[in-house]
Amino acid sequence: MAFRLKLVPTHTNIDFFKWQWLTFGASVVAVVVSLLAVAIMGLNFGVDFKGGTTIRVESTQNIDISVYREATDALGLGEVSITDVFDPSFRPDQHVKMLRVAPQDGYEAVTPEVIEQIEAALLQVDPAVTFPSVESVGPKVSNELIWKALAAVAIASTGIWIYVWLRFEWQFAVGCVAALIHDVIVTVGFFAIFQLKFDLTIVAALLTILGYSVNDTVVIFDRLRENLPKYKQMPLRDLMNLTTNETLSRTVMTMTTTALALTALVIFGGDVIRGFVSAMLFGVFIGCYSTLYVAKNIVLMLGLDRTEKAKKERKPGDHEFANIDA
């Protein structure tokens, strides 16, 4: 007899609306806190959005940051940010630091001559130091990237809204997009609160989170659409609970397997992709939460015209745009 792993019992009867105002209120609070965190604390923009030059410094010696800072201060470059980078995959003799240098007056980015001065100054205090990578972005380009990143998220959300509205009813589309906006804002707030580096890879993670979250939501909405003609007399609240319980095993299994893969990448993937993977891992959990406690709540608040559907006597699964190819 084959062994089958079940994270959720075959038949569940969880009342997802038992604490609907508490869970929905927690989501509203999370969104407000996230917006306040971004407004007050700001985001720790990476070189993509802030401009300047980032130099990755590696050495076999564990040199204190203050030694590097004294060497760069002597060059008169203004504020130079130096941070340690830790990673479980590093060798015992691999010590990595990141130097961030703001663009100098009159220049779009740090010039090659200045970079050479920085490298020479660090070599004097640590002959074993190496410079595996140098990234430079001018302030004009970084400003354009911020607007393009915002536009990418907005366009993706709009496209998803249009798709869900065509495939379902407008109430489903409103609930779905509200959940997506919730996921994006809370994830960005997470980065603001913990001051994690926010760069283009995080924007890519946000777009991926949108796709993951809407996929999970559409699965429940699709089952709900199938159940509407089957249970014409069942109250919408109870029908949504039934539908969510029917798809709960799939939701939990998808979230768990995705989280396991992302956790492995957080631990063993290295510091280069850690920001992207961390955003994805947080987004997987917040996306699952919004599917269960945000999207459905909004649809229930807006209501569905089930009487009209019954009069039209449509077949299970039919609706105004049922014949549109997905």
Nearest-5° angle of CA 133, CA 136, CA 141? 145
| DSSP code for 294 | I
What pLDDT band is residue 37 in, cutting at 50, 70 and 90?
Answer: very high
Q: Which residue has the tokens 């969510």?
A: 244
Per-residue pLDDT for 71 more than 80? yes
- Within 270-314, residue ranges assigned H as helices are 274-290, 296-302, 306-312
Q: Which domains does the chain possess?
A: 20-44+142-312 (1.20.1640.10), 52-137 (3.30.70.120)
Q: How deeply is 95 buried, as exposed, middle or buried, from its count of CB atoms within 10 A (0-12, 13-18, 19+)?
A: buried
Between CA 256 and CA 268 the distance in angstroms is 18
Look at residue 101 in the predicted model and tell me its pLDDT.
79
One-letter amino acid for residue 146 of the chain? I
Average pLDDT, the chain: 80
Higher pLDDT, 37 or 78: 37
143-187 tens-digit pLDDT? 777 788 888 888 888 888 888 888 878 888 888 888 888 999 999
Q: Show the tokens assigned to 325.
A: 């190819």
Q: Show the tokens assigned to 262.
A: 């992302």
Query: Model pTM greater than 0.75?
Result: no
